[in-house]
Structure 1
Amino acid sequence: MENTANAAQVDYWNALAGQTWARFQAQLDRQIDPLGREAIRVLAPRAGERILDIGCGCGQTTMELAALTGAAGYVKGADISAPMLEIAKARPVPPGAVAPVFEQADAQVASFGDGAFDAAFSRFGVMFFADPVAAFANIRKALRAGGRLAFVCWRPFAENVWMRAPQEAAAPFMPESPPSDPTAPGPFAFADAGRLRGILGDAGFRDIGIEKFDCLIGGGDLEQSLELSLRVGPLGGALREHPELVSKVSDAVKAALAGYMTPQGVLMPAASWIVRAQA
C-alpha cells in the first residue's frame, strides 16, 4: 500500500476494525445483503462484462457479480483491508463463473487501466476517501465511455435505527464525544444527497440518480445482534476506545435490541441511498 492517499483509512481497516469485520463476516454479509442486492439490481450486470467492485471487503458482492457476468466475464475486487481480502480470496467461486481477481489497492489513486471496465460497483465501500472527487474521477477513468456506476451508501445516522438505537441506549454510560465533521471520510460521508451529486458531477459522471432505499436488516438472534452492535458501527468504534465500558452498556443495548425481535431474528430499519451514474 505504498501508493495511497488514505493512510489513516489504510491503518484503520488493517488493524482492529478490519479484523473485526473479517471475524463477523458471515453475520455482516447477512445483515447488509438486501442493500447490496438492490444496488446490483440497479447496476444490472450482463454476461461477459468486466466489472470493478470497489471496497469489496470480504468478497460477497464480488462473487455475486462474477456469477452474473459468467464464464466470459471478468470481475476485480479492490480493497485496502488485508484481513478482509484474505476472507474474499478463500471464498468458493460460483459455478460457471471466472474466479475474480482481488487486489489490495486504494481506489482513489490505483491504476485499474484506462477504460478497462464496463461497470463499477460498491456496497458501502466508497465513503472513506480523503478526496472523493479525485477518487471518483479515478474510478471514472477505469470505465469505458458510457460505462455504468452503481453503489449503495448510508443516509444520515439519525435515519439508521440499526445503528442509532444501540448508541442511544449506551449514551448514558459513555463519555460525551465532540461533534464530528459530517463530510469527513466515514460511513455517513455521503448522507447529504446534494453533496454526493456534486461530487459525482465534479468527477465527470452524468445521468446521476440518487434514490432512497429502506428495508429491515439483521436476522441474528438477540445475543448475536448484541455482540455485533458492540463491535461495529459508531458504538463499536467508541467501545474500541473505551473497552472498559462494554460491560456497563451491554444490558441497556440488549434491551433496546429486544424491542426489534421478530420470528426472523432482530430486524431493524436501515436507510440508504442507491446511486447510479454514467461515465
Structure 2
Amino acid sequence: MADTPTQTELWNGPAGHAWVTAQRILDEMFNGFATHLAQTVPTNANWRVLDVGCGTGDTTLTLARRLGPGGRATGIDLSAPMIEVARQRAVDAALPVEFIAADAGQPPLPAASIDHIVSRFGVMFFDNPVQAFTRLRETTRQGGTLHAVVWRSAADNPFMTTAERAAASLLPLPPRVPDGPGQFAFADADKVRWILESASWSEVAITPLDMSCEIARDDLRTYLSLLGPVGTALRNETLDAAEREHILDTLEAAFSPFIVGDRVQFTAACWVIKGANP
C-alpha cells in the first residue's frame, strides 16, 4: 500500500488540481459561507484580514469587496495550483488582494499584523493544530479576532458521505482517520475548544451553523468525479470507461434524496469557531 501523502503533497497534487477544476461548482455550493464570513467585518473597515485555507480565493475576494479601499484582504493556502487561480481572479476583478502559497500554520507574516482571521473549511488540516493556532494568534494584534467555519460530524452531514457509502463495494476507499487532519477533524466541539485554549485564544465560542447549499443538477456528476475520497479513487484506479460510467451512475442514483428539480440541495452542518487574542 502506498504511503499516505502529506498535506503538501495532497494539495499540490491531484487534489489541488481537482479543486481548481471544480472551482465554479464549489464557489456556487459554498456561496453562503463567503457571505457569512464577509459579514464578520464592518463595511469599508480599515482592517487587515487573513483568510486561512483560502483555496481559489472566493471568500478572500468577497472580503476585499466588503472592506473597500481602506482595508486589506490576504489569502493563504498550501496549494500552489489554487493560489495561482486566486491571483488571476484578483487581477481579473481589479482587487488589491494578496495571495500567499504557504503553510497557514506557519504564516510568513509579521507578528501582530492582522486584525481579523477568517476561514472557510481551512483549519481542519493542520498536522499540529495547537502550534498552528498559536502562530495564527501571534499574527493577530492584541484584541484581534478569529472567525472560522468547520464541519460538524460525518453523521451530521450525510450529503458529504453519500458517495463513499454508495461506492464502498465498488472502489477501494481509504478509511477516514478520526484524529488526523481532514474534513471532520473538528467535529468534536470540546476538542476544538481545548485546541484554541491551549493556543492561548480567549473568549472562545463554538456554536452550530446550518447553511443551505446547492449546485446545479447538471454539475453533480462532475462534482462526484473530482472531489473527496471517491474522486481520488476514480482518478487513481485503472478503470475502463464503462466501469467508470457505471460507478458514476450508481453514485448519482444515491444522491436522489438531495435532488429537487434541476438543483441538488443539502444542509451543511457546521461549527462557527470564534476567539480573540487577549
TM-score, normalised to structure 2, is 0.89
Paired residues in the alignment total 270
Residues 178-197 of structure 1 correspond to what in structure 2 (within 5 A)? 178=175, 180-197=176-193
Deviation larger for 21-30 or 206-215: 206-215
Does the 8 Å CA contact 1:133/1:199 hold for their aligned counterparts? yes
**Residue 203 (structure 1) aligns with:** 199
Q: Which amino acid aligns with 2:86?
A: A
1:171 aligns with 2:171: no
Q: Which amino acid aligns with 1:236?
A: G
**Residue 3 (structure 1) aligns with:** none
**Residue 37 (structure 2) aligns with:** 39
Mapped to 1, the partners of 2:37 and 2:225 lie a distance apart of 27
1:125 to 1:20, Cα distance in 2 relative to 1, 3 A? same
Q: Which amino acid aligns with 1:194?
A: D
**Residue 8 (structure 1) aligns with:** 6
Q: Deviations over 1:220-261 (max 9, x none)?
A: 11x411220232123223433435263342122111223322
Q: Which amino acid aligns with 1:217?
A: C
**Residue 231 (structure 1) aligns with:** 226
Post-superposition shift, 1:42? 4.1
Does the 8 Å CA contact 2:38/2:66 hold for their aligned counterparts? no
Gaps of 5+ in 1: 1-6
Give the share of equivalent positions with the same residue, in percent. 35
Post-superposition shift, 1:74? 1.2
1:24 aligns with 2:14: no
Q: Which amino acid aligns with 1:14?
A: N
Mapped to 2, the partners of 1:118 and 1:177 lie a distance apart of 39
Q: Which of 139, 142, 146 in structure 1 is aligned with 2:136? A: 139
Post-superposition shift, 1:54? 0.9
Q: Secondary structure at the match of 1:219?
A: strand
Gaps of 5+ in 2: none
Residues 79-90 of structure 1 correspond to what in structure 2 (within 5 A)? 79-90=77-88
Mapped to 2, the partners of 1:212 and 1:79 lie a distance apart of 25
Mapped to 2, the partners of 1:197 and 1:205 lie a distance apart of 9
1:47 to 1:264, Cα distance in 2 relative to 1, 3 A? farther
1:181 to 1:165, Cα distance in 2 relative to 1, 3 A? closer
1:240 to 1:43, Cα distance in 2 relative to 1, 3 A? farther
Mapped to 2, the partners of 1:159 and 1:90 lie a distance apart of 36
Deviation larger for 56-65 or 101-110: 101-110
Q: Secondary structure at the match of 2:186?
A: coil
Q: Which amino acid aligns with 1:136?
A: F
